[in-house]
Structure 1
Amino acid sequence: RNHEPTDLARVAPGDVVTAEWVRMKCHYGCGGYGTCLTCPPHSPTPRRTRRMLDEYTSVYLIWWGSRGADREVLAEIEREAFLMGYYRAFSMASGPCRLCDPCPLEHPCRYPYKARPSMEACGVDVYETAHRAGFPLQVVTCREDTPNFYSLLLVE
């Protein structure tokens, strides 16, 4: 594999923090709002996300460092978990999906096996979740700051 994560941590589903304000930041702060089938208003609400998370006992927060993980890599990891017998495996990415440009909102997703909603689109407070897992994540205030990227893998 040419894109390895920096680290990962198993976290309790209750330590994955969901909040309505996160989705509001998508609505009133992201130019991708409404332009992609994996972003709000098409993505699960924070309440629905919370209910789904509570159906799992194993959640892995994957830290990609400053490189980020594209959805194809994340889809491969999810598929590997599925093939290992974790048939409920599901992943959440970071940031808007860029598999299609532009996303054909009037048609079904072209890549349903690769497209996954971002944690933020589902109302996950990535900052608090990363801190609870002991990982670094600060607000990027200038271009010289190094960003950190995360994703979630849910298995049962």
Structure 2
Amino acid sequence: MLQYTTFDTPLWELILVGTEQGITNLHIMTDQTKRQFEIDPSWKRNDSLFDKAKTQLLEYFAGKRKEFTLNLIPQGTDFQKKVWSALGKIPYGEVRTYKDIAIATGNSNSSRAVGMANSKNPIPIIVPCHRVIGSNGKLTGFALGLKAKEHLLNIEKGK
């Protein structure tokens, strides 16, 4: 059975969803989000299950945490999981292009597919899809809004 919690960060309210085995979803309640996300009535609220994740996320927002040590169980296709794995290897404070991620997944011509997989990332922040930018160096395509992407990158730059 899926369980969830909600909590406030300095920027937004977050919703975490998962099981005893790990986190399946993280939703950021931004004013620019293009994602629809609702808490399913069958889910059970369990704040204590997510204590470690909440602590680590709040440390991240405070600029004190550079990597997460949480069990993640994102649901997606094999290709999406390959992309999300590559995202997890982007160092804190650095960015990569969609093309870089395409190359890292073994198909340099899959930049557009990488962008689609990136947009479906169910665990943003922890799986750092915000660290992917356009080949021209501009912030592009963040399902939770470009302002949110900019905020996250600024946290990692110490701003």
TM-score bin, normalised by smaller chain: under 0.3
TM-score (norm 1): 0.25
Bigger helix fraction:
2
- Give the TM-score normalised by the residue count of structure 2: 0.25
